[in-house]
């Protein structure tokens, strides 16, 4: 685990503080914690001195602590999602090792850590990475816990389940326990696993959950009369059941996110699921753990597909489960004499996807206006994009060759090396991929503005501005003169 954390730490922390925060998400999730530090109010989140009731405060608290220790800078802000992403990788190693053995744990952690969506969201200060890791840990504690006999180990696992559900609730609201609870209940019900549930330490576990999750909710409601309606009604039920958030998507929206998010391992997911569930319903008892991982992935996928509000990070919680299924299958396959043959279809898909991505990258930077409309941005991205395309093409060619000549294990090492080089190049390109920032203007205002000066934001409210100028409120720094009604994007 230490070696995994060192290797992925080097990859994930690479250049995270070398480019400005973008609008609106990075600016928002940096500014709300900064205002907590400035005001000393850790109960009511505020954005530009306006109450911000969309989400609970756990990630704000962690980010504020990072800002207090490391300063008001990009590294301190982005270190938080990187920390949670690395936690998720270590967690997946632990869980897959407990369920399937050491080799499976290593493979599962590598699959998750080199996956495209996990890496991308692991560098953006959103709430989704944190809630995904906490939900995943709750579900892993459950499936490992039900396999343990009554005793201290089982008790610790179930208490870990209740604690992680409470922390997930403090991260992104009711889904922290409702969705995880639904996954567990559905698996128990459909596969008749009720006998394995006892003892579940429910009375003390429920008290532990409430002791962690309830105090902030009570305090927020007591201090803010409008909080209950905004938080429970608008931000939970209306967001899920109506077009309140103005982020609709077609029924197949998350299919493409899941396929792209598992790159470079997309081609290995289906054979992993197929072999894990071999025997189907007749062997559901002996494949109960695999069915739990599939239930976990399928329920969360369908839950957010039904929602009227869709964004790519919403299905991030399914990736630790998919990585565990895929990693366990890969570890089992490379140990077989015909392992390279069994990987053949997945390697073909891998090469095809690599070629497709390489063509898309080259088209984007060599044909400005076709994909990237800003010619200056296309020009700035040319060399990183050419490097990424070259890495992908070389990987797509040599990895299948390695499978034929050196065996399955070496070919998988080739995929990992290719992915690491690609993701490293992606971080080099990150400053030019990011949306424009108001950092220079914010720092100028911080240095030159007088205490009573007012700054008006025209067209939109630039949410990184107040972070960089370290001032809030319409009487001192920022107010919007946009005639449009703007909603936050998360």
Dump pLDDT digits (tens) for 124-148: 999 999 999 999 999 999 999 999 9
Please determine, for residue 482, whether its predicted confidence score (pLDDT) is greater than 50: no
Please determine, for residue 478, whether its predicted confidence score (pLDDT) is greater than 50: no
Q: What is the DSSP string of 406-471?
A: T-HHHHHHHHHHHHHHHHHHHHHHHHHHSPP--HHHHHHHHHH--TT--EEEPSS--TTHHHHHT-
| pLDDT score at 137 | 98
Mean pLDDT in residue range 174-184: 96
Return the higher-pLDDT residue of 485 and 393.
Answer: 393
Q: Which two tokens stand for residue 330?
A: 């890969």
pTM summary value: 0.94
| pLDDT score at 90 | 98
Mean pLDDT in residue range 393-407: 96
Dump pLDDT digits (tens) for 282-336: 999 999 999 999 999 999 999 999 998 899 999 999 999 999 999 999 999 999 9
* DSSP-based three-state secondary structure for 118: helix
Q: Is 159 exposed, middle or buried (0-12, 13-18, 19+ CB in 10 A)?
A: middle
Indicate the range of 149-158, 339-348, 361-370, 384-393 predicted with least confidence: 361-370
Dump pLDDT digits (tens) for 330-351: 999 999 999 999 999 999 999 9
Q: Which residues 6+ apart lie within 8 Å of 452 measured at CB? A: 475, 476
pLDDT band at 477 (very low <50, low <70, confident <90, very high): very low
| pLDDT score at 242 | 77
* DSSP-based three-state secondary structure for 478: strand
* DSSP-based three-state secondary structure for 47: strand
Dump pLDDT digits (tens) for 232-288: 988 888 888 877 766 788 989 999 999 999 999 999 999 999 999 999 999 999 999
Mean pLDDT in residue range 359-381: 90
pLDDT band at 483 (very low <50, low <70, confident <90, very high): very low
| pLDDT score at 196 | 93
Query: In whole angstroms, what is the distance from residue 68 CA to residue 486 CA?
Result: 30
328 closest CA partner among 276, 261, 291: 276
Please determine, for residue 353, whether its predicted confidence score (pLDDT) is greater than 80: yes
Mean pLDDT in residue range 73-90: 98
Q: Which residues 6+ apart lie within 8 Å of 160 measured at CB? A: 137, 138, 141, 145
Averaged pLDDT of the chain: 92
| pLDDT score at 415 | 98
Please determine, for residue 479, whether its predicted confidence score (pLDDT) is greater than 60: no
């Amino acid at each position: 685990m230490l070696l995994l954390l060192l290797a992925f730490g080097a990859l994930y922390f690479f250049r995270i503080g070398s480019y400005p925060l973008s609008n609106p998400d990075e600016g928002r999730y940096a500014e709300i914690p900064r205002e907590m530090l400035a005001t000393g109010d850790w109960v009511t989140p505020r954005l530009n001195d306006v109450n911000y009731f969309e989400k609970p405060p756990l990630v704000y608290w962690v980010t504020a602590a990072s800002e207090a220790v490391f300063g008001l800078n990009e590294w301190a802000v982005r270190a938080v999602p990187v920390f949670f992403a690395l936690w998720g990788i270590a967690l997946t190693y632990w869980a897959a090792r407990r369920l399937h053995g050491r080799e499976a744990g290593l493979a599962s952690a590598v699959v998750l850590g080199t996956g495209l969506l996990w890496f991308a969201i692991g560098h953006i200060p959103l709430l989704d990475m944190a809630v995904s890791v906490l939900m995943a840990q709750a579900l892993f504690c459950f499936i490992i816990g039900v396999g343990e006999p009554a005793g201290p180990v089982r008790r610790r696992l179930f208490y870990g389940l209740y604690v992680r559900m409470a922390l997930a609730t403090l991260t992104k609201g009711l889904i922290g326990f409702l969705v995880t609870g639904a996954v567990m209940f559905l698996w128990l019900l459909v596969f008749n696993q009720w006998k394995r549930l006892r003892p579940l330490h429910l009375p003390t576990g429920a008290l532990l959950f409430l002791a962690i999750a309830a105090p902030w909710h009570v305090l927020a409601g007591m201090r803010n009369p409008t909080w209950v309606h905004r938080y429970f009604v608008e931000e939970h039920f209306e967001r899920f059941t109506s077009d309140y958030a103005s982020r609709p998507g077609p029924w197949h929206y998350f299919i493409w996110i899941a396929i792209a998010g598992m790159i470079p391992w997309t081609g290995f997911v289906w054979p992993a699921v197929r072999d894990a569930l071999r025997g189907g319903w007749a062997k559901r008892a002996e494949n109960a753990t695999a069915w739990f991982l599939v239930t976990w992935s399928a329920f969360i996928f369908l839950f957010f597909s039904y929602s009227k509000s869709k964004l790519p990070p919403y299905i991030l919680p399914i990736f630790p489960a998919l990585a565990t299924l895929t990693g366990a299958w890969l570890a089992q396959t490379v140990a077989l004499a015909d392992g390279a043959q069994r990987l053949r279809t997945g390697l073909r898909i891998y090469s095809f996807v690599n070629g497709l991505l390489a063509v898309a990258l080259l088209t984007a930077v060599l044909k400005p206006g076709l994909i990237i409309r800003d010619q200056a941005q296309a020009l700035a991205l040319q060399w990183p994009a050419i490097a990424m395309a070259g890495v992908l093409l070389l990987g797509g060619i040599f990895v299948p060759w390695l499978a034929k000549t050196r065996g399955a294990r070496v070919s998988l090492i080739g995929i990992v090396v290719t992915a690491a080089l690609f993701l490293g190049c992606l971080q080099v390109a990150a400053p030019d991929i990011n949306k424009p920032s108001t950092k220079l203007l914010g720092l100028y205002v911080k240095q030159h503005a007088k205490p009573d000066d007012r700054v008006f934001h025209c067209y939109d409210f630039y949410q990184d501005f107040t972070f960089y100028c370290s001032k809030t409120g319409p009487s001192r720094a920022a107010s919007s003169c946009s005639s449009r009604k703007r909603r936050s994007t998360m």
